[in-house]
Amino acid sequence: MKDESVELLRQTDICIAPVYSLDEVLINPPVLHRTLVVKLDPPKLGKVRQIGILIKLSETAWEIRSIGARPGEHTDQMLAGLGYNK
């Protein structure tokens, strides 16, 4: 249905593009070509996919160094910084 609708609307004077599901985005050739999804291998989680660097600059190399904190990973540290104890 989506493909037929997009194709029909492309025949008119309408700016149109499909809305992809997350699964479709992760295998979309232009997304993969621009390395907008990268595979990381953090020690505790194993292989994960993450959004890559969206801005591409010809003379600046970017690197993803971390997948970020897990939920609650820094809670004790943050609360201690606010004066709370265990």
What confidence tens digit (pLDDT) does each residue in 48-62 have?
Answer: 888 888 888 889 888
Q: Which residue has the higher pLDDT, 39 or 82?
A: 82
Alpha-carbon span 47 to 45, nearest angstrom: 7
Distances (CA, A) of 20 to 3, 4, 85: 11, 14, 46
Q: How confident is the model at residue 7 (pLDDT cuts 50, 70, 90)?
A: confident
**Predicted local confidence at residue 29, as pLDDT:** 92
46-52: long-range pairs with CB below 8 Å, 24+: none
**Predicted local confidence at residue 53, as pLDDT:** 86
Alpha-carbon span 63 to 65, nearest angstrom: 6
Among 64, 71, 72, residue whose Cα is nearest residue 48: 64
**% of the chain at pLDDT higher than 70:** 100
| pLDDT at residue 44 tops 80 | no
